[in-house]
Structure 1
C-alpha cells in the first residue's frame, strides 16, 4: 500500500480484522481507531494487549528502559486482547495516528503487512543496534518475514507443551535417573503407554485438556499432531485448501485413541482441566506454557513441563505463536522518534528474561542463552519447542483469537467428544476451510 488508504479500503480492512477476531460487530475500539488521535504525548508511544502476569512483567521491562534512559518518556497503553486490539492498531495506523511501537502475534502479521501498515524492520533503526537475524530463534525470525521482508522483531515463542505430575510419573516408572525428567519417548504407541501408566499409578485420567468451548486449544493440539505428517492445511496465502486426507484421518484416529478408551476426558472445560491436573487426578496436561504461573501457586503440586515428543511422523513438532514488536507505519514520525523507538525495542529484548517469567521462551538468543533465563525452571526445559515451532498457516484469516481457529476447532472438539468419526471429520474440515479460502480478503495477500 502506498500513500493514504482510501476510506473504502480502510473500512474493508476493519471488516477483515473483525472477521479474524470472530466478533459480530465493531464497537468503540473501531470508532476510536477511526476518529481518535494519537498525539506525540511522549517520546515513545507503545501499545500492547497484556494484562495479568504478562502485563506486570511488561511494566517491569518498561520501567527498566525508563531507568536506563532517564531523559526519554514512554507512554504505554493496554488495549483489549484479540480483535479490539488489532482493529484499533490497524485503523489508527491507516488513519495516520499510530503508536511508535506495538505488539503483534506473528500469526497475525500477514494481514498487517499486506495492508502496508507496518514499517519494514530494516527501516526501523534496530539493525544499527545489533538486532539481526542471527540473534533470534530461526523459526520466529522466519515467521516475522512476509514475502522476503521482515516486519517484526520477535520477543518470544509461546508453544503448546506437555505438563506432567512428577510424583505420578515417578510411581508410573516414567522418570529417568534424575528423578525429575521424563524418559525419552517417541511415537504414538509409547505416548499412549505413558498415559496408561499414569492412570495405573493412581490418576483418574492419563491426561487432561481443556476441550469444551475451547476451540483454540483443540486447534493447537490437532495442528501439532497433524503437522508431524503433513504441511499446512491451507496454502497460496490462504486461497487453497491443501489437506492430506490420509494424514488428517490418521490424526483424528490418534486423538480418539486417547479420548475413546477414557485416557483423557472427551469433554472438559478449562476449569475442569485445571482441577484434574492440580489435584493429581490427571498425570499429563496438554496446554500452553502461559499457564505455568498459575500452577506454581498450587500448594503441593510438583510438576514439570517439556516439549511434546514426536507423535505421528519422525520428528517432534510444537504448535506455537510469538509475541513480536512492530513499528506501525507513520510518515510523520521523525528520525529522532524512530531512533527512540528502536532503543525501546532493543531494551525490551535485553530484559526479556523478565518476560520469560510468564513461561515464554525468549526469541532473543543472547537472553535465551543467559544465566538469567537458564536459571528459570521449567522454562529452560522446553526451549527446543521454540526451534520446532509450527505456526498457523499464512492467510489473512488465521492467527491468535481468529474466527478461523474457532471454526476448525469446533470440528476438532466434535472428534474429541466422539461425535464425529475420522473420515467424516476430514470432510467437515474441508468444508470449514473452503469457507475461508473462497472468501474475499480485505487486501491483496500476494
Structure 2
C-alpha cells in the first residue's frame, strides 16, 4: 500500500532553548504563525488561493473554523496538512486559529463552548478530554457518520481509541501518539560496543544493563551516557517516572476520592532515577534545553525525550536511530499523549456543517504521513501500515511505542498543560536534585493529589 503524494519541504527544527528561530527558508506565513503562537497570541490562517471564506461559501464550500495549539515546526506541518485538505474538494474550506499552548488554550476553548462561539473542530490532548466531556463542553462523535467518511474504530489501536471514549460515547479522535522514547547516536553506540550485528542498539532488558550501556557511551562522549533534563520541568520529570512506574505493572487510579497507587513501585522508580542522575550516566541538575543541546552536540550517546524532538536531531547531522524505551522493570510501557480532534459543544449544530467537519477530520487522518515525518506516530493505522511509512527512519523503528503507551491517570485536573505535573515538580524535584527520600517525596505528591480529588470539577 502506498500513500505517497507530493510533500512540502520538511519543517525546520524548533529552536534551541533561549535562541530565537532562524527565519531563513521560511515563508512570511510560517514566521507569522510561529511568532504569534510563541508570544501567546492568536494566529488565524486562512485558505490559500485568494478566496475569502464568504466567497468560498458562495461557491458551495462551507467555511470551517479549526482551533489548535500547534506552533513551531508542528504548526508549519499542520498548516500544510490543512492547505492540502482544502484542495480536495470535499465541501469545506477550513481556517485555522492557533492559540498558545497549555492553560491559555484550554481556558479559551472552554469559554468558547460555554459562550456559544465554539469552533467546528478543535485539537485537544487526549489526556484532557476527561476533564471537559463530563461538563458538556464537548459533543460526542457520531460513529455512523464517521464510518460514512471512511473512519472507524478498527482503524486505530485499541488503547488509543478507548482514550477518547467516556461512558460509552466517543469524544475525541486521535491524530497521533507522541510517546516518550529513547533516541541514540549510532556513531557513539558503535564506538562503545553497544550496537548489535543488525546495526541496532543491543538488547536492554533490565536496569543494570541500561546503566552499563550508558556508562560505555559516556566513555566515548566524555560527557554523559544519557541526555535527560528535568530541572524546573514537571512534565519531563513525570514522563520518565510514569514510564518506569507503569513498567512495574503498577496502577494509578484517580477514580475515587483518594488516589490508589503502588507506593513501592513509585519508590523503586524514583530510586532508579536517582542512580541515573549520578553525573556519569546523566547530569544530576540539567534542564530540558541542556539535554537537547547535549545530545545534538554528541556529548551524550542516548536521549530520553518525546518524538517531537526528531526534526531537531535529524538536523544535527549525526547517525540517529530511536526505539521504544527499553523494558527495564518487566512490563513494556511508555508515557504518551495524543493530539486528538474534538467537537466543541454547539447547542444547535447544522447537520451539513457537522458533516463538513467530519470530512475535514477524515481527510487530515488519511493524509497524515507528513505528520509522521515531523516525528509523531499517526493514529490512523492505514498510514502506519503503508509502504511509505515503513521507509521512514527512525520513525518506523519507534512506532511500536504506540502499542505500549500510557496516558496520564484520568481525572479532571490531569493531562498535558494541566497543573498535575506541576504538583509532581513541587513535591518530587528534590528527590531528583538533592537525593531526598523517594518515599517522602512521592507521598507528599499523593497528598497533594488527594486535595484535588476532594474538589469538584470546575467545568
TM-score (norm 2): 0.84
Given that residues 260 and 418 in structure 1 are in contact (C-alpha distance below 8 angstroms), is that contact kept between their aligned partners in structure 2? no
| 1:212-223 to 2 correspondences below 5 Å | 212-223=231-242
Deviation of 1:234 (Å): 3.7
Deviation of 1:219 (Å): 0.5
Deviation of 1:423 (Å): 2.5
| 1:61-96: CA deviation from partner (whole Å, max 9, x where unpaired) | 111111111753222111111111111111111222
Given that residues 249 and 331 in structure 2 are in contact (C-alpha distance below 8 angstroms), is that contact kept between their aligned partners in structure 1? no
| 1:235-292: CA deviation from partner (whole Å, max 9, x where unpaired) | 216x321121111111111111111363211111222112211222111111111011
**Residue of structure 1 equivalent to 2:159:** 139
Aligned residues: 404
Deviation of 1:124 (Å): 8.0
SS at match of 1:393: coil
The answer to whether the aligner puts 1:309 opposite 2:326 as a matched pair is yes
SS at match of 2:96: strand
Deviation of 1:99 (Å): 0.8
| 1:211-235: CA deviation from partner (whole Å, max 9, x where unpaired) | 1111111110100001112434342
Deviation of 1:116 (Å): 1.3
Deviation of 1:130 (Å): 2.6
CA distance 1:196–1:78, change in 2 (3 Å): same
Given that residues 194 and 202 in structure 2 are in contact (C-alpha distance below 8 angstroms), is that contact kept between their aligned partners in structure 1? yes
**Residue of structure 2 equivalent to 1:273:** 291
Given that residues 241 and 430 in structure 1 are in contact (C-alpha distance below 8 angstroms), is that contact kept between their aligned partners in structure 2? yes
Q: 2:194 aligns with which of 174, 192, 206?
A: 174
Q: 2:397 aligns with which of 360, 368, 381?
A: 381
User: Matches of 1:59 and 1:326 in 2, distance apart?
Assistant: 18
TM-score (norm 1): 0.86
User: Matches of 2:406 and 2:96 in 1, distance apart?
Assistant: 31
| 1:22-41 to 2 correspondences below 5 Å | none
| 1:369-408 to 2 correspondences below 5 Å | 369-408=385-424
User: Matches of 2:455 and 2:145 in 1, distance apart?
Assistant: 37
The answer to whether the aligner puts 1:342 opposite 2:370 as a matched pair is no
Structure 2: 5+ residue stretches without partners: 1-39, 43-52
Deviation of 1:188 (Å): 0.7
CA distance 1:250–1:347, change in 2 (3 Å): same
Q: 2:438 aligns with which of 417, 422, 426?
A: 422
Deviation of 1:127 (Å): 2.4
CA distance 1:28–1:375, change in 2 (3 Å): closer
**Residue of structure 2 equivalent to 1:236:** 255
Given that residues 65 and 344 in structure 1 are in contact (C-alpha distance below 8 angstroms), is that contact kept between their aligned partners in structure 2? yes
Given that residues 246 and 331 in structure 2 are in contact (C-alpha distance below 8 angstroms), is that contact kept between their aligned partners in structure 1? no
CA distance 1:123–1:380, change in 2 (3 Å): closer
Deviation of 1:123 (Å): 6.0
**Residue of structure 2 equivalent to 1:253:** 271
User: Matches of 1:195 and 1:123 in 2, distance apart?
Assistant: 47
**Residue of structure 2 equivalent to 1:16:** none
Structure 1: 5+ residue stretches without partners: 1-26, 30-38
Runs of 4+ in structure 1 over 4 Å off: 39-42
Deviation of 1:28 (Å): 9.5
CA distance 1:172–1:411, change in 2 (3 Å): farther
**Residue of structure 1 equivalent to 2:335:** 319
User: Matches of 1:48 and 1:199 in 2, distance apart?
Assistant: 40
Deviation of 1:419 (Å): 3.6
User: Matches of 2:452 and 2:195 in 1, distance apart?
Assistant: 44
**Residue of structure 2 equivalent to 1:78:** 98
Higher relative contact order (CA 8 A, sep 6+): 1
User: Matches of 1:261 and 1:100 in 2, distance apart?
Assistant: 50
**Residue of structure 1 equivalent to 2:3:** none
CA distance 1:197–1:246, change in 2 (3 Å): same
Given that residues 74 and 374 in structure 2 are in contact (C-alpha distance below 8 angstroms), is that contact kept between their aligned partners in structure 1? yes
Deviation of 1:147 (Å): 2.1
Q: 1:409 aligns with which of 421, 425, 444?
A: 425
User: Matches of 1:248 and 1:71 in 2, distance apart?
Assistant: 51
Given that residues 251 and 262 in structure 2 are in contact (C-alpha distance below 8 angstroms), is that contact kept between their aligned partners in structure 1? no
User: Matches of 2:223 and 2:353 in 1, distance apart?
Assistant: 57
User: Matches of 1:229 and 1:197 in 2, distance apart?
Assistant: 26
**Residue of structure 2 equivalent to 1:432:** 448
Deviation of 1:208 (Å): 1.6
Q: 1:197 aligns with which of 216, 226, 230?
A: 216
User: Matches of 1:148 and 1:419 in 2, distance apart?
Assistant: 44
User: Matches of 2:41 and 2:271 in 1, distance apart?
Assistant: 44
SS at match of 2:212: helix
Given that residues 253 and 261 in structure 2 are in contact (C-alpha distance below 8 angstroms), is that contact kept between their aligned partners in structure 1? yes
